[in-house]
Amino acid sequence: MGSISRLDAVNQMLLAAGESLVADLENESGVDTKLSEFILDQTAQDHQLRGLASNKYVKKYNLETAGDIILPENTLSGELISNHVDTDGNIQVGIDRQKKIFNITDNTYSWKASTDYYIEIIFELSWDDLPTPAQRGILASAMRQYQLIVQGDDVTDRYLADLEAIHKSRSKASDINDARVSIFSSGSTVMNQALSRLNSSAYDPNRHRYWRHKGL
């Protein structure tokens, strides 16, 4: 759980645009905060779309009968990461569509029964559930957007742009540390397998051939 409350985040956005602070988000202070809250929510969602250490996991689905693979309601994206082929030997590619996994290869939502399908799911965290570094990175972007929409001052925007760069880099560094990954292990599991040829004969010593030649 992050240490920056939703109220504090909204107040920092208001302050960045030269507006008065509020004591609550129920409009009892006489200030409408709907715009700032909307920008905060959209910025938070954008920040989570690619996946964080705290909002990405792999779930195994095994259907009793052939049919749809249903994703959780708060899913931002889903991807089939296990290897499967159709009757023609083509690799099946599955992505999220309408909260279900869609089989692009066979152009269908239906998947076979009694088969283990591993789905990488990225889901949306609420503001309170986000880590503090992520909250600060999101807030820095939201402050800049809000100021540009409401006030549009160029000097303030340059200042907020510097803050945004600092806090977004810190947020990314914190997420990399939490995920315990490196540049060699990040990215799509399917893509990594394709690049390293884990399922091919790339590491088969018998496939290498050498020219025979006699020295002088």
Structural domain boundaries in the chain: 6-50+126-178, 56-123
Whole-model pTM: value is: 0.75
- The per-residue pLDDT for 109 is 94
Q: Count the helices and strands in the chain (H runs, E runs).
A: 5, 5
- The per-residue pLDDT for 28 is 64
pLDDT exceeds 70 at position 206: no
pLDDT band of residue 24 (cuts 50, 70, 90) is confident
β-partners of residue 97 are 100
Q: DSSP class of residue 15?
A: H
- The per-residue pLDDT for 214 is 59
pLDDT exceeds 80 at position 188: no
Give the Cα separation of 142 and 127 in Å (integer).
13
Q: Which helix (H) or strand (E) holds 41?
A: helix 34-48
Give the Cα separation of 159 and 142 in Å (integer).
14
Residue bearing the bigger pLDDT, 126 or 50:
126
Give the relative orientation of helices 132-150 and 6-16 as an angle to the nearest 10 degrees. 40
pLDDT band of residue 185 (cuts 50, 70, 90) is low
pLDDT averaged over the chain? 85
User: Per-residue pLDDT tens for 69-120?
Assistant: 999 999 999 999 999 998 888 999 999 999 999 999 999 999 999 999 999 9
